[in-house]
Amino acid sequence: MSPLLKSMSVFFLTGLLLVRSLVVPAILMDFELRKEYIIKYHCENKSRPELHCDGKCYLAKKLKAAQESQEKETSQRLLSQVLELSDQLSPWEFSFEAPSFEFPLVKSPLFYHRFFPSAEALSLFRPPRP
């Protein structure tokens, strides 16, 4: 892959990440720029001016919709990853076997048995006697 193509793909992917992370600030900026228009045409509480809503109901709806769409997308992505993982793991089979140890017979010198008559070549891992 050429260096130009690599750098262009890095910039493109970085731009996609930035666009996704800037959804909430874009909604807030849109609200501030079009506040009079939103108050005049989109506000639900025009008939009740004592609430001093000033279009915040519209802003709350937009922010909630953005959050729900992001949560839905995240849950769908997580679900698809779990399903793909279960498809990959289904043909696998796990089995565990205990390793077998073989101890070579070691002949100890004759004088050793004089002091410890119970010592045998395979008595390394034997529990103590009462």
Q: Tens of pLDDT along 2-33?
A: 888 888 888 888 887 787 788 888 888 999 99
Structure tokens at 19: 């666009």
Question: What percent of the chain lies above the pLDDT cut of 90?
Answer: 8
54 Rama sector, left if φ>0, alpha if ψ -120 to 50, beta otherwise: left
User: At 97, is the secondary structure helix, strand, or coil?
Assistant: coil
Average of per-residue pLDDT across 56-69: 90
50 vs 36 pLDDT, higher one: 36
- CA distances in angstroms from 74 to 23, 66, 69, listed in the order given: 15, 12, 9
- In the predicted model, is pLDDT for residue 61 greater than 70? yes
72-90 confidence digits (pLDDT tens): 888 888 778 777 766 666 5
- State the Cα–Cα distance between residues 17 and 99, nearest whole angstrom: 50
Give the closest residue to 42 by CA, choosing from 34, 52, 50, 51.
34
Q: In the prediction, which pLDDT does 64 show? A: 93
**Domain regions of the chain by residue span:** 22-87
Beta carbons within 8 Å of 63's beta carbon, 6+ residues apart: 24, 27
109 vs 65 pLDDT, higher one: 65
Evaluate whether 23 touches 71 at the Cβ level (below 8 Å): no
